[in-house]
């Protein structure tokens, strides 16, 4: 929705003042800080229009107004001015923490860097595993229980238990494994799934079930990673009044950290985009609280996007400071992982 220049200037001034001090902003304050030579009555009329359009709201206890999620979105998308920062100084501060080391150590350090520089919570979605298998093996455990053994190209071994409706003989299991290894070994699980859709009709029914079960179980096994999300600085959010003002908010906050599911979904979605993304609570169902925002950016290994990192904080955060922190950390993490 387009706003005229006066409305944009007043909305920008209101959001910046509210981020700075957390208090509803009145027309008198706006007339002083906006730089516009407008009468208080004109400012009140423009603010009433902004409220009607859903960009600001009036708390019951105050004559001033506060930004809504929609107002924050307009601010970060079109009105935000990111001040020039000394990237060299910031990079040198981070560089020592992101020296090529073990991959897990670099990722943990990146989450800590995001947290310490933003004073909120830093989060990193770890690189996705390559879901490629070198070979599989079926082992008959009992009449209707089979152990699926999956070996990746780098030697990782994953096991999954398959419960069947049919008693497969050891010979049939060997035959099925040999067929899969011969025709599909070295492919990704996704590629195997696509090829199976056209090829299963040509196979015998007993092998069909085994191959489908192997692909589904293999997909779970190859992508399973209990440490997919690394979080640092959760306790920083306890000192943010906007997020910890009541028990319901605290419960939602720490449910998100404990479950990690919605956080992983959000980071996974932002990894499909380029550059910095901003998710504002109240407009995105992936953010569990209206008072929370997440600033994210994807990172790469050797030119390929493999994960996402970001900062979790209140909607009332200094976006002009957090955005460069997230952006530069993503670049440095990409560089460190590409050379580790």
Task: State pLDDT tens for residues 310-321.
Answer: 999 999 999 999
Distance in angstroms (rounded) separating the CA atoms of residues 110 and 178: 43
Q: Report pLDDT for 226.
A: 47
Q: Report pLDDT for 49.
A: 95
Fold of 132-224: Enolase-like; domain 1 (3.30.390)
Q: Where are the domains of the chain?
A: 5-79, 87-128+227-339, 132-224
With pLDDT > 70 as the criterion, what percentage of the chain qualifies?
Answer: 90
Distance in angstroms (rounded) separating the CA atoms of residues 234 and 289: 15
Options 1.10.10.10, 2.30.38.10, 1.20.120.160, 3.40.50.920; which CATH number does 5-79 get? 1.10.10.10
Contact 256, 262 (CB under 8 A): yes
Does the pTM of the predicted model rise above 0.75?
no
Distance in angstroms (rounded) separating the CA atoms of residues 158 and 68: 48
* pLDDT greater than 50 at residue 65: yes
Q: Report pLDDT for 227.
A: 53
Q: Report pLDDT for 156.
A: 72
Residues pairing with 150 in the sheet: 136, 158
List, as one string, the DSSP characters of 142-175. ETTEEEEEEE-TTS-EEEEEEE-SS---HHHHHH
CATH of segment(s) 87-128+227-339: 3.30.450.40
Tokens of 64: 């001033």
């Amino acid at each position: 929705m387009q706003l005229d220049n006066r409305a944009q200037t007043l909305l920008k001034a209101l959001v910046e003042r509210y981020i700075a001090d957390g208090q509803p902003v009145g027309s008198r304050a706006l007339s002083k800080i906006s730089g516009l030579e407008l009468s208080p009555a004109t400012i009140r009329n423009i603010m009433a229009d902004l409220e009607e359009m859903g960009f600001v709201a009036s708390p019951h206890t105050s004559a001033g107004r506060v930004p809504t999620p929609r107002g924050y979105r307009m601010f970060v998308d079109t009105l935000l001015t990111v001040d020039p920062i000394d990237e060299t100084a910031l990079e040198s501060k981070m560089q020592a923490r992101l020296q090529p080391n073990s991959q897990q150590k670099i990722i943990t350090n990146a989450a800590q860097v995001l947290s310490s520089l933003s004073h909120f919570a830093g989060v990193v979605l770890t690189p996705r595993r390559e879901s490629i298998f070198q070979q599989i093996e079926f082992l008959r455990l009992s009449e209707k229980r089979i152990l699926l053994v999956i070996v990746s190209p780098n030697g990782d071994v994953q096991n999954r238990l398959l419960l069947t409706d049919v008693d497969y003989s050891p010979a049939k299991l060997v035959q099925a494994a040999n067929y899969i290894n011969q025709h599909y070994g070295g492919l990704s699980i996704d590629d195997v799934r696509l090829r199976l859709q056209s090829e299963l009709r040509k196979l015998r029914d007993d092998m069909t079930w085994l191959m489908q079960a192997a692909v589904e179980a293999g997909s779970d096994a190859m992508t399973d990673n209990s440490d997919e999300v690394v979080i640092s600085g959760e306790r920083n959010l306890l000192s943010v009044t906007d997020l910890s003002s009541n028990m319901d908010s605290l419960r939602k906050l720490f449910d998100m950290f404990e479950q990690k599911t919605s956080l992983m979904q959000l980071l996974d979605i932002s990894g499909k985009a380029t550059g910095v993304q901003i998710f504002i609570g109240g407009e995105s169902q992936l953010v569990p609280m209206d008072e929370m925002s997440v600033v994210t950016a994807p990172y790469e290994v050797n030119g390929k996007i493999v994960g996402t990192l970001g900062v979790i904080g209140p909607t009332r955060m200094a976006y002009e400071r957090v955005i460069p922190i997230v952006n530069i950390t993503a670049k440095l993490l990409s560089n460190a992982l590409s050379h580790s």
